[in-house]
Amino acid sequence: MKIGSPAERASAEARVALTPESAKQLQKLGHECLIQKGAGMKAGFSDEDYAQAGVKIVSSAKALWNASDLIIKVLSPDKTEIKYLDKTKTLVSFFWPAQNEALLTDVNKTGATVLAMDMVPRISRAQKMDALSSMANIAGYRAVIEAGNNFGRFFTGQITAAGKVPPAKVLVIGAGVAGLAAIGTAQSLGAIVRAFDVRPEVAEQIESMGADFLMLDFEEDGSGEGGYAKPASPEFIEKEMQLFREQAPEIDIVITTALIPGRPAPKLWPAEMVKLMKQGSVVVDLAAEQGGNCDLTKKDKIVESENGVKIVGYTDFPSRMAAQSSTLYSTNIRHMLDDLTPEKDGVLNVNLEDDVIRGATVCHQGKVTFPPPPPKIQAIGKQDAAPKPVELTVEERAALELEKERGIGRRQAGLLAVGSLFMLLIGAYAPASFMQHFIVFALSCFVGFQVIWNVSHALHTPLMAVTNAISGIIIIGALLQLGSPNNLVGILAAISVLIATINIVGGFMVTRRMLAMFQKS
């Protein structure tokens, strides 16, 4: 089958759906690859790069569409491109069928098969084809870079001869893929990062990346279908606004990522919040395409409020990193075509029994197949979410703790009883000199293990815990031998205590320095 990748007709779009590397992989599936002349130039891929990868260069868009059986592109087709479609062709691109009903109707009239990359179901098996996550990851990263470009100070705190520079304070609203990417980027640049999300289950992800999760004292779960958030109640929104009013005067950079597919962006950072921010602060609105999370957002523009706050409303963050975006997107496309070519013989098989292919297919053989039925496997956001813990009273928690301690005591008593019987059995046959040393060894192991192993891993790493436990055993055993009448034994015991102590103290010092790397002054 011939796979063609045309140049994107939108002037601001720099991405391309086919890269030289992905073309090599598609050729292994039995396909022939074509690309329009100059299609990859904005993304940093020359026609020579494609030619070396075995891709045929086609001079015009019309010639490419006519020569191709399968078209892969980034944006949905415009009116000119729809004219090139017919029932013999298959199109794979972003399509947004829920927001483009007229486009879906027009394309379906051509009889073409269309697979929308934005409709890939969010199940574990389809993660490799999840182009929305790939682009959101880049958007979150780029949002921080754009914020830094418009922010007049350092992200990281510094102490210089000219004075002390405080670190920037960044607030990320929404902890989806884009939000987590923004958190990671801002954190790596040295900022103090805070994050908020209506879904309580993402708190652990936020904190694992070094950010502070802003907890809202309100009983409402904002988790929706497919890992997205659902619309919040008016009472929840009021509590949320109260939290943001407290944060706004302190925050230097706000990055909003809240967006529910098919709905206008919720207004989470209204003009009131912008007025509370300091002069020189920045708001980056990743939901600008759907109206924005900020009242003052202007699509594809940077506006400045009366109090000197810049609001960035760009909608082309992935396109601003065209080389990286094209590489990730073309990989998502390649994985999709891998599933569409199960025999690797260059023959396309649109298997509507497959959850992923069925979910992505929006029209096929003259029929509109959107919306798809729910996948047989639950979405990632639902499947991976941990069950909510059962709320216990103080008395119930105390009873559970007491029962847990009793269980540990019973196990330890059992182990001691077994150990004592084992000692008696050995003592019945072993000489007294052997038993003296063996008992010292056993006590050293037990006491050393109890002393060191129970130290919290926050104070030393798990690997350090093992080595420190061994050193603890050595110290206990050596201390018991220091009073030996044999001078040689006493000297060796003292050396053992010294070396093991150095090992333990050094281990704690190394761990302390490692933890200090993640602390802010």
Three-state secondary-structure class, residue 14? coil
Count of Cβ atoms closer than 10 Å to residue 183 Cβ: 26
d(CA 156, CA 153) in angstroms, rounded, equals 9
d(CA 450, CA 442) in angstroms, rounded, equals 12
Q: Which of 317, 380, 319, 329 has its CA nearest to residue 140?
A: 317
* Block residue for tokens 């050094």: 506
Q: Which of 27, 99, 127, 223 is catalytic?
A: 127
Q: Is residue 228 flagged as an active site residue? A: yes
Angle at 507 between CA 503 and CA 510, to 5 degrees: 135
Q: Which of 50, 84, 141, 228 is catalytic?
A: 228
- Please give the torsion angle defined by the CA atoms of residues 107, 108, 113 and 118, in that order, rounded to the nearest 10 degrees: 60
Q: Which of 5, 133, 471, 496 is catalytic?
A: 133
d(CA 331, CA 322) in angstroms, rounded, equals 14
Q: Is residue 429 flagged as an active site residue? A: no
Phi (first) and psi of residue 459, to 5 degrees? -95, -20
Q: Is residue 320 flagged as an active site residue? A: no
Q: Is residue 130 flagged as an active site residue? A: yes
Q: Which of 50, 76, 93, 130 is catalytic?
A: 130
**What's the token pair of residue 488?**
């040689």
Count of Cβ atoms closer than 10 Å to residue 366 Cβ: 12
3-state secondary structure 199-250: CHHHHHHHHHCCCEECCCCCCCCCECHHHCECCCCHHHHHHHHHHHHHHCCC
**What's the token pair of residue 68?**
């191709």
Which residue(s) pair with 164 in the sheet? 159
Q: Which of 53, 360, 375 has its CA nearest to residue 227?
A: 375
Q: Which of 5, 22, 36, 122 is catalytic?
A: 122
Three-state secondary-structure class, residue 368? strand
Assess contact for 82 and 110: CB atoms under 8 A.
yes
54: left (phi over 0), alpha (psi -120 to 50) or beta: left
Sign, CA torsion 154/159/160/165: positive
Angle at 86 between CA 347 and CA 19, to 5 degrees: 55
Assess contact for 17 and 4: CB atoms under 8 A.
no
Catalytic annotation, residues:
122, 127, 130, 133, 228
